[in-house]
Amino acid sequence: MATQEQVIQALVGKTGARLQDIVVCQTSGRLPVHDDHTDHQLGPVNGLSVAAPGFVYGAFAPNGGSKRHTVLVESLDPEYAGSLEFDLDSIPTAAELNGHWARYAVGAVHALQQDHHLPPLERGATILVGSEIFTSAGLSSSASIGLNYLTGLLQCNGLAGQVSQAQLIELDKAIENGFLGLQNGILDQGIITLGEAGKLVYMDCEAYADGNPDFFRIVEPGAGMPEFKIFFLYSGKQRDLTENRFYNERVRLCYAAAQNLCDLTGREYVDGRGLSQVPASEFLRWASQLTPEERAVAMHVYGAIERINEGTRLWEQGDLGGQLITAAGYSLDQQFHVGSSELQSLTGTALTVHGVVGARQVGAGIGGGVAAFVPVTECYDQVIGELGECIGHFKREFPEYRDTARLVECTPADGITVHTCL
């Protein structure tokens, strides 16, 4: 895992750029708290921006002369070997990239060049990236790297002041939805873009879709909120949602359920608005008419909406809402069906640890890990030790992950930080 200083020094060594000319972008991971997988159905979401266990770092040196329109991307992370170079006027397609690790950089340029609210990019950059965030682990390294590329390129072109937070969310959504074909909503990029250390981000995705600038709230923890830590029990099992169409199938089932419910209730179905078009009471009345698969995913979405709203209310009152956190994980596994035997094992053992008030799988499931919420008490050190024993138990149960499974702390942090090296 590359540090920020290593990324900066490598860029200076490669380009000879002066430190004062380099733009450094730091982007966090994200952690949904009381549930998720409601954003693509225009439901509410909430979550925290976190160092997971660190950040994505991008160092950008604006190019000039004959290379003015060139974008060159390299990574310091060994798993992302090689580089990618392309021109602002000749952007590769996603198909041509064939899964290349730098496809998010290309997607960022594509999104910026296609945005009719912005002038075209006139200056490329040499970009070196490094990450302390576990990749393909459910902590949203993909949204983090996409936002990093977008922010750095905007800075290099003097356009950062022309882009609102809502527009930045939309630009990152254009990378994942438009360029890469992943049918997710705004939870990941929204929490990172809006995130402030230690504060809960709450977003009304329907209000966002309607263009309401007041689509989000930054929620301070209520008086009496205990000091708490978040531990991530990483399974070591990776998954790439842009390569795995299973997630898109979950989303498709939600839309199919919404269309069938609209037909059953005499509503006109509006494409793209999903289950937000049908009240929960109508779902309960007509649920038996859906296919079992449609009924299961819809049950998760409606339950998640309740948990997110109630969890946000409890947060404002100084309560973590641990039971809601655990219930979210159960629903993701049993109703939305994005669990796995690995995540079931980690969740089950984490919940046996006295001092863990809530635990749930994180992200779109299948791979990744489990977040455990732990209030800091006099037994805190013992809790950490027992969570470490959970990882040991997991490695014995799943020896194929003995070299990659681990326990790390996720620290609340600001979502996006930009600075120069002066």
Provide the 3-class DSSP secondary structure of residue 416: strand
| pLDDT, mean of residues 368-384 | 92
Q: Is the pLDDT of residue 183 over 60?
A: yes
Instruction: Note whether 333 and 299 are within 8 A (CB).
Output: no
- pLDDT value of residue 116: 85
The mean pLDDT value of the chain amounts to 93
Q: Is the pLDDT of residue 139 over 90?
A: no
DSSP string, 343-394: HHHHHHHHTTSTT--EEEE-TTSSSEEEEEEEE--TTHHHHHHHHHHHHHHH
- pLDDT value of residue 364: 65
| pLDDT, mean of residues 73-99 | 92
> Looking up tokens 């930054």, which residue turns up?
218
Q: How far is CA 386 from CA 70, 356, 382, in A?
A: 51, 10, 6
At 124, list the tokens: 């490329």
Instruction: Kindly list the domain boundaries of the chain, sorted by start residue.
Output: 4-220+414-420
- pLDDT value of residue 274: 97
Q: Is the pLDDT of residue 243 over 60?
A: no
| pLDDT, mean of residues 251-261 | 97
Give every CB contact of residue 328 below 8 A, 6+ residues apart in sequence. 32, 34, 35, 36, 304, 307, 360
Burial class (CB in 10 A: 0-12, 13-18, 19+), 219: middle
Model pLDDT for residues 90-109, shown as the tens digit of each residue: 999 999 999 899 999 999 99
Model pLDDT for residues 7-63, shown as the tens digit of each residue: 999 999 999 999 999 999 999 999 999 999 999 999 999 999 999 888 899 999 999
Q: Which pTM does this prediction carry?
A: 0.95
Question: With bands split at pLDDT 50, 70 and 90, how would you rate the model's confidence at 1?
Answer: confident
- pLDDT value of residue 239: 64
- pLDDT value of residue 230: 96
Question: With bands split at pLDDT 50, 70 and 90, how would you rate the model's confidence at 81?
Answer: confident
Q: Is the pLDDT of residue 240 over 70?
A: no
Model pLDDT for residues 142-171, shown as the tens digit of each residue: 899 999 999 999 999 999 999 999 999 999
Question: With bands split at pLDDT 50, 70 and 90, how would you rate the model's confidence at 319?
Answer: very high
CATH number, domain 4-220+414-420, options 3.30.70.270, 3.60.15.10, 3.30.230.10, 2.20.25.90:
3.30.230.10
Q: Is the pLDDT of residue 308 over 70?
A: yes
Strand partners, 412: 50
Question: With bands split at pLDDT 50, 70 and 90, how would you rate the model's confidence at 380?
Answer: confident
Number of Cβ atoms within 10 Å of the Cβ of 414: 17
Question: With bands split at pLDDT 50, 70 and 90, how would you rate the model's confidence at 136?
Answer: low
- pLDDT value of residue 316: 98
Instruction: Note whether 329 and 370 are within 8 A (CB).
Output: yes
| pLDDT, mean of residues 121-126 | 96
Model pLDDT for residues 271-284, shown as the tens digit of each residue: 999 999 999 999 99
Question: With bands split at pLDDT 50, 70 and 90, how would you rate the model's confidence at 184?
Answer: confident
